[in-house]
Structure 1
Amino acid sequence: MHKQTLLACLLTTCLFAGSAHAQPLRIALGSEPTAIDPHYHDLTPNNALTAHIFEGLTRQDEKQKLHPALATSWENDGKNTWTFKLREGVTFSDGSPFTADDVVFTFCRTLKNETAIAGSFADITGNFESVTTPDAHTVVIATKAPEPLLPTFLGTVGILSSSIVKHDKLSFDIGKNCGVTGTWPVVGDFNDGKLAIGTGPYKLKSYTRGSAIDLDRNDKYWGDAEPWESVRFLPVPNAAPRLAGLLAGDYDVIENPAARDLARIKDDKRFGYVITPTTRVIYYQLDVGRAQSPFVKAADGKNPLQDVRVRQAMSLAIDRKAIVARLMDGAAEPAYQFLPTGMFGTLPNPPELRYDPAEAKKLLAEAGYANGFQLTLSTTNDRYINDSQITQAVAQYLTQVGIKADVDAMTRAIYFPRRSKKELSVALGGWGSTSGEASSFLRQWPATPNKEGTVGGSNYGGYSNPAFDKLILEAISTLDDAKRSSLLQQAQTEMMKDFAFIPLHFESAVWAHKANLTYTGRSDQFTLAMSVKPVK
């Protein structure tokens, strides 16, 4: 080929490739993030979005294996003290340098965050006895109780720039406001972009609730540059329009297309998809702590949910295998515990949670509710895969055994604050283990809340079992892996006997995309632009 012709071809190819990457990467989300603030709500869509802008000291890969991030190494003294060495040469998107002061400020802010939902992330930093900085790139954390998973947990705490507030010398002294002299930031300060300053691969361009979230590539990022100059996230809560948008070319990647619709793209060379098993368990949390519950009505005036026979009957009334087959189209697994079997601290052979409506009716009669009672199942309709449809199905199962069940489905922006205020009686939940071990669910949901806020942060149903608490508190402070695993298994066995939480199934995550892209599915269900690469 003539040199000039070859040069022209190469230039054309480069220009085409450049223009392709200059176009926004368009990702349709099934569940819209509720804030840009990385500490607002410990919620998967929020954490996935903020991971583009903010980084933790560590990070997890697609299989939840731990890696260095803003910390390059860490070590424990065998007891309560961890030393983290910070990455040098890192700057925030506004050009300010990243130092140990930013880490101290961030930890303080999680404990000074008035707009956080359910004390998000304070359960981690609430266990800190002290945080010291021997130099600009070293952070030493002493915990009140031993915390074997601290490096993992710190991957979830997005580091803020201390430059976003007025302050004197910063220190981890909550009583003295940590040295901050200005106003502590609130969620709105991040949503409008004013304080959305991070070290991550992208920076916020605009956030319009219900419309779109636009990110630009952070050219000051310390790591490898991302191929996409800009990314647009679009909330599309209904699966059918998400798939239609992909087929029409409006989106490049979509999350959670309905499994039944994958046949439409299976043999279409224009598209690809990936299905990834996850740790997310879908379950119900029951109000067992109050003699009167707002959405339960029984002839005797009591709260039937306080009777373990009633709670067990509710579990027996649910056909988990039918839900997986018919509603989830096989893209899920029935759950008989709160983390998939085989993961750290799980029961190796958990007893199957049977579908037995006859036994359910028998237990209800024994509890004095042969004629049933009324209750309302509360659920999101825009957070988990088929969340409201699942709750409708469960309501029908309960009705078949004599419990007249209604459904109250609402957007998660309304649902989560109501649940955290304990306004519900039977609440749908979904929990993905960020640590990959059974303690993640057990310490957060069924544990009796302590004054430090380090356990039981999501115990909205008032469950309290001293035998379980003793086991879980010992487990989470045990550094020996074998002993901790045994304690977690014992704790889960003890908690499961009470049926205050009724597991349904484990979700599988599905992503579909254009064929000129690849997507790496993640077990934590994070939808990340960093997981999207152009086909070489």
Structure 2
Amino acid sequence: MKKTSLLVGTALVLLSTAAGAETLRWGLAGDAMTLDPHAQNEGVTIMIQSQMMEPLVSRAPTGELEPTLATSWRVKEGDPNTWVFSLREGVTFHDGATFDSEDVVFSFERAMSPQSQMRGLIASVAEVRATGPYEVEITTKGPNPILPTALVSILMMDKDWVEANDAEVPQDVASGEVTFAAVNVNGTGAYELVSRELDTRTVMTRNEEYWGRDTFPMAVSEIVFTPIANPATRVAALLSGELDFVQDVPVQDIERVRQTPGFEIATGVENRAVFFGLNVADTLERGGGENPLADVRVRRAMNMAIDREAIQRVVMRGQSVPAGVIMPPFVDGWSEELNAYPAPDPEAAKALLAEAGYPDGFEIQLDCPNDRYINDEAICQAAVGMLGRIGIDVALNAMPKAQFFPMVNGLESDFYMLGWGVPSYDSEYMFNFLYHTRNEAYGSWNNTRYSNPELDAMIEGIAQEIDLEKRAAMVDEMWAMVKEDMVYVPIHHQMLNWAIRDSYDIDVDPDNQARMKYFGLK
């Protein structure tokens, strides 16, 4: 397959027009952490990878499940523990190798390995086996009625390519390890990797032999992705013509971009909640000693101190939806009642702190990313002031996500910001990753040290419950339990504001996953 190279300088400006808008210069605050599809379960990372690699099942920008490398799926007759997936025939990897069931089995086994950060998505899977060159069976540890929704982020790799390049084990991102699969890609996706400079630039070119070439618009022939951490610089690059698409327009610049000829702002509520995580163990990570956050009265006091509507009004300039639960409204189980949050009440919060034995408050550090969520550092700064009003002296430690996520996921933080999207649109995904006791199969993002054996059993139970009415009742009970325990302090659901040249025809994806193959021209 012939591949074209694209050399792009920072100052290069290629004006897009409706007649020839082929090169899309895309800017975002942060970069993908790796190109290894099983090494890091993080939104931007998966988004960049997904331009080049594909799962069996995807979500369209509308949120609906759609066939991708699998054309159909069903529960096996007579065996409620097994799903049968029919694979798409005639698909090739970028190097021309044929995609088949052997690659699927290999990819799942790699994604299920102890080193994989994706294993929690498929914790219910017991075995994946090929039953023909274009058919696989996935057997779960019990009936799993929502299995297909859990597969949208499990990307397929070419078994022979991985083995030939000694990349069988997923990359250890936290340790700084660099592997062949971390910087190279051989996928089946709509775009192929041309070049990759971490935190500088990633260039991709359209795969003209893509199986969906005549199905999707695929107006973009080349993608130049440039992470620009500074929001002012990012917007300036957009308005000067150096960028065509900015996925995270700062709220203070929305109107300016909207009023600039040649650009449009596409908006929508994101399938993501932003919240604070709290170390609820008996001792602090930093300095050891007694941990105030282990007392639920302290956690409730902190929840009462956060003025969500002030954050919405002042920090987010209206571009957020205040939240009383960390579940986005797209997720099965969400309700207005569950999403209720307390009005800020510093005096009542102080009384709770005094009752817990902290009448003079305490000191703690808040760890926060500064290039991942919309106005993330500014939200943390606002929270520092709000908590200060009830006597909690918070030191803010903001850093790029490349350092932030390994630190937090390495259990090195007592108090941290996190945002969580739910690609399955199901509560089980949240409980699995964020609330289950942390072990090899579950709780890989439960950095709170929270452990509730009763809840653990229910989490594992809803993954297998096929009585949907009973399952819904279990989900309601589980959310009531965790809201009472106040393991996380919810802040809000983000609004999405995508800025793009007005020659493009796009729909905002609630998962904030820009899928370039869907981009068309007007």
* TM-score normalised per structure 1: 0.88
CA contact (8 A) 1:191 1:207 kept: no
Q: 2:120 aligns with which of 103, 120, 123?
A: 123
Q: Work out whether 1:229 is the aligned partner of 2:218.
A: no
> Would the alpha carbon gap of residues 341 and 516 (structure 1) be closer, same or farther in structure 2, given more than 3 Å must change?
closer
Distance verdict in 2 for CA 1:471–1:109, change over 3 Å: closer
Asked if the contact 2:275/2:492 (under 8 Å) is kept, the reply is yes
1:348 Cα shift? 4.4
- Aligned counterparts of 2:304 and 2:487: Cα–Cα separation in 1: 13
Distance (whole Å) between structure 1 residues aligned to residue 146 and residue 456 of structure 2:
18
Instruction: Specify the SS of the correspondent of 1:47.
Output: helix
Distance in 1, Cα, partners of 2:138 & 2:179? 30
CA 123–92 in structure 1, closer or farther in 2 if over 3 Å, else same: same
Alpha-carbon spacing, 1:254–1:123, altered in 2? closer, same or farther (3 Å): same
**1:254 corresponding residue in structure 2:** 246
Instruction: Write the distance in 2 (CA, Å) between the matches of 1:518 and 1:252.
Output: 13
Residue 19 of structure 1: how far off its partner (Å): 8.1
- Cα gap change, 1:442/1:124 in structure 2, threshold over 3 Å: closer, same or farther? closer
Q: Given the alignment of the two structures, is residue 346 of structure 1 paired with residue 331 of structure 2, yes or no?
A: no
Q: Report the alpha carbon displacement of residue 213 of structure 1 after superposing the two structures with TM.
A: 0.4
Partner of 1:468 in structure 2? 455
Q: What aligned pairs does 1:334-413 form with structure 2 within 5 A after superposition?
A: 334-341=322-329, 343-350=331-338, 351-413=340-402
Paired residue for 2:481?
Answer: 494
Distance 1:267 1:480 in 2: 52
Aligned residue runs from structure 1 range 21-40, under 5 A: 21-22=21-22, 24-40=23-39
Secondary structure of the 1:371 match is coil
What is the 5 A alignment of 1:303-318? 303-318=291-306
Residue in 2 aligned with 1:85?
A: 86
- What does the per-residue CA deviation read over 1:125-148, in whole Å, with 9 as the maximum and x for residues that have no partner? 443222221210010011113322
Unaligned runs of 5+ in 2: 1-15, 172-177
Partner Cα separation in structure 2 for residue 19 and residue 94 of structure 1:
31
- The range that moved more, 352-361 or 89-98, is 352-361
| CA distance in structure 2 between the partners assigned to 1:349 and 1:112 by the alignment | 39
In the alignment, the residues of structure 1 paired with residue 330 and residue 403 of structure 2 have an alpha-carbon distance, to the nearest angstrom, of 35
**2:156 aligned with 1:159, yes or no?**
yes
Question: How far apart are 1:318 and its partner, in Å?
Answer: 0.5
User: How far 1:269 moved relative to its partner?
Assistant: 3.3
Residue 132, structure 1, aligned to residue 129, structure 2: yes
By how many angstroms is 1:341 displaced?
4.0
Aligned 1:430-441 pairs, distance under 5 A: 430-441=419-430
Match of 2:321 among 323, 333, 337: 333
**What is the root-mean-square deviation in Å for CA atoms of aligned residues?**
2.1
Asked if 2 retains the 8 angstrom alpha-carbon contact of 1:398 and 1:405, the reply is: yes
2:85 is matched by which residue type in structure 1?
A: F
Cα distance in 2 between the residues matched to 1:369 and 1:181: 54
**Distance in 2 between residues matched to 1:59 and 1:110, nearest whole Å:** 17
Task: Determine whether 1:274 maps to 2:266.
Answer: yes
Question: d(CA) in 2 for partners of 1:112 and 1:466?
Answer: 24
Contact 2:189 2:207 in 1 (8 A): yes
Q: Is the 8 A contact 2:55 2:153 kept in 1?
A: yes
1:226-273 per-residue CA deviation (whole Å, 9 max, x = no partner) reads 222211001012222222111111111111112222221333332111
Shift of 1:469: 2.4
- Whether 2:275 is the aligned partner of 1:283: answer yes
Structure 2 residue matching 1:31: 3-state secondary structure: coil
Q: Which residue of 2 aligns with 1:106?
A: 107
2:507 paired with 1:523: no
The Cα of 1:428 is off from its aligned counterpart by 0.7
Match for 2:378: what amino acid?
Q
For 2:407, which of 418, 426, 430 is the aligned residue?
Answer: 418
Query: 1:373 touches 1:402 (CA, 8 Å); kept in 2?
Result: yes
Partners of 1:389 and 1:260 in 2: CA distance: 12
User: In 1, distance between residues paired with 2:146 and 2:277?
Assistant: 26
Label 1:67 to 1:306 Cα distance change in 2 as closer, same or farther (>3 A). same
Task: Find the residue that maps to 2:455 and give its secondary structure.
Answer: helix
CA contact (8 A) 1:216 1:229 kept: yes
Counterpart amino acid of 2:252? Answer: R
- Which is worse superposed, 135-144 or 457-466? 457-466
Contact 1:296 1:425 in 2 (8 A): no
CA contact (8 A) 2:111 2:119 kept: yes
SS at match of 1:396: helix
Q: Give per-residue Cα distances to partners, 1:482-508, cap 9 Å, x unaligned.
A: 222221111011001011111110011
Specify the code of the residue in structure 2 equivalent to 1:465.
Answer: N
**CA contact under 8 A between 2:36 and 2:183: conserved in structure 1?**
no
1:265 alignment partner, one of 257, 272, 275: 257
After superposition, what is the alpha-carbon deviation per residue over 1:199-241, rounded to whole angstroms, capped at 9, x for unaligned?
A: 0000100110121100011122100252222110010122222
Q: 2:446 aligns with which of 459, 464, 487?
A: 459
8 Å contact kept, 1:212–1:234: yes
Distance 1:165 1:243 in 2: 39
Contact 1:165 1:185 survives alignment (8 Å): no
CA distance in 1, matches of 2:181, 2:80: 37
Aligned residue pairs: how many?
Answer: 495
Tell me the residue number matched to 1:9.
none
- Aligned equivalents of 1:434 and 1:155: distance in 2? 7
Asked whether the 8 Å contact 2:121–2:429 carries over to 1, the reply is: no
Q: Are the structure 2 counterparts of residues 377 and 17 from structure 1 closer, same or farther at C-alpha, using a change threshold of 3 Å? A: closer
The percent of aligned pairs where both chains have the same amino acid is 31
SS in 1 for 2:127: strand
Q: Give the alignment of 1:199-218 within 5 angstroms.
A: 199-218=188-207
**What is the identity, as a one-letter code, of the residue corresponding to 1:269?**
P
Is 1:220 aligned to 2:209, yes or no? yes
Are 1:296 and 1:376, in contact at CA under 8 Å, matched by a contact in 2?
no
- Single out whichever of 142-151 and 212-221 deviates more from structure 2: 142-151
In the TM superposition, 1:48-59 aligns within 5 A as 48-59=47-58
Report the CA distance between 1:440 and its aligned residue. Answer: 2.0
For 1:499 and 1:303, how far apart are their aligned partners in 2?
A: 15
Equivalent positions of 1:314-325 (< 5 A) are 314-325=302-313
Cα distance, 1:88–1:322 mapped onto 2, change above 3 Å:
same
Mapped contact 1:80–1:146 kept (Cα < 8 A) = yes
CA distance in 2, matches of 1:341, 1:185: 33
Amino acid at match of 1:20: G
1:39-50 alignment to 2 at 5 Å?
39-50=38-49
Contact 1:260 1:329 in 2 (8 A): yes
Q: 2:8: which partner in 1?
A: none
Deviations 1:273-319 (A, max 9, x none): 11110121101111112x2213478xxx5111111100100100110
> Once structures 1 and 2 are overlaid, which stretch shifts more, 433-442 or 405-414?
433-442
Q: Check the 8 A contact 2:34/2:183 in 1, yes or no.
A: no
**Equivalent pair of 2:72/2:86 in contact (CA under 8 Å):** yes
- Taking the aligned partners of 1:42 and 1:181, their CA distance within structure 2 comes to 22
Please tell me whether Structure 1 or Structure 2 has the larger radius of gyration of its CA atoms. Answer: 1
Q: Is the 8 A contact 1:165 1:184 kept in 2?
A: no
Deviation by residue 1:421-444 (Cα, 9 ceiling, x = unmatched): 101000110000111122221221
